[in-house]
Amino acid sequence: MNTYTDCLVRCQPILGFCLAAGLIISPVETARSQSIVTDGDIVAGGISLQDLKEAHCDHLESLHAGSALPLFCTQPTPARFVFVTSRASTAGGDLVQWANDLLSPQTPFIFGLDAGDAICQEHADEAGLPGTYRAWLSVSGINNIDAKDRIGDHRWVLTDSTTVIADDLADLLNCNNPACLQNPINRTEFGLLAVSSRTYTGTTTTGELSSYACDNWYSDDGVITFFTGGHNTLNDSGWTDLQPIEYCNQSARLYCFGT
């Protein structure tokens, strides 16, 4: 049975859409004789968008328009992995030095942000994870660089391949108390439960630069420089912006997002 036919079989009852196969419903603008149901039919049947979301059909973008476009089951975009590094920094908030301690041969990093990304990629590569990884970090400058603008817009799961962190970027940044993330980012690149630890972020729950980022991740000072960080056991605002702030000589880990 091909994927499309299998989709038709699985998606017969309105309330059963996508449940068996983890599929999503997508509107198609061109009419096709094999259409299963239209969004107009769903509205008439009294099925709410929340009902569909709970059934993992949260991509029904035409529902609000009432345009009765044909809907088809499609495979969702593959999720990306997110993890917390199994190692803690060997150089406090000086990520350039940590990267040089970790990587062989050493790389002459110019920016702390690049060093953070290299640390994440090294951890991912060691575990055999596919794809490219970036650190959940923000920095200041003529134009601030915010963590939310560096990781794309994906569905993220932990490295156990099943635990969902966020359905997309909007979900990641939707911090309605008390929950922000669907689950804490508490597994390492190897899929193991991580040691309870602070994390460097320099980033608020909106995904934007906070006031403290260890001089753009160049400083391990324990007197005058600080960092905003999170904690890998939390899924409230403390996942990325846990008070109090910490001195930059404190060792912490990184969150690494597949992009």
Q: Which tens digit of pLDDT belongs to each residue from 71-82?
A: 444 455 689 999
Q: What domains can you pick out in the chain, each with its CATH number?
A: 3-74 (no CATH), 80-258 (3.10.100.10)
pLDDT tens digits for range 47-65 = 444 444 444 333 333 333 3
Average pLDDT score over residue span 28-51 = 37
| pLDDT for residue 196 is more than 60 | yes
Please give the structure tokens belonging to residue 19.
Answer: 């449940």
Angle at 121 between CA 88 and CA 80, to 5 degrees: 105
The reported pLDDT for the residue numbered 107 is 75
| pLDDT for residue 41 is more than 70 | no
- Using an 8 Å Cβ cutoff, are 256 and 130 in contact? no
Q: Which is higher by pLDDT, 214 or 9?
A: 214
**Alpha carbon distance 218, 111 (integer Å):** 8
Give, to the nearest 10 degrees, the angle between helix 95-102 and helix 112-126: 30
The reported pLDDT for the residue numbered 76 is 58
Q: Which is higher by pLDDT, 241 or 110?
A: 241
- Using an 8 Å Cβ cutoff, are 25 and 71 in contact? yes
Q: Which is higher by pLDDT, 178 or 174?
A: 174
The reported pLDDT for the residue numbered 63 is 38
pTM: 0.74
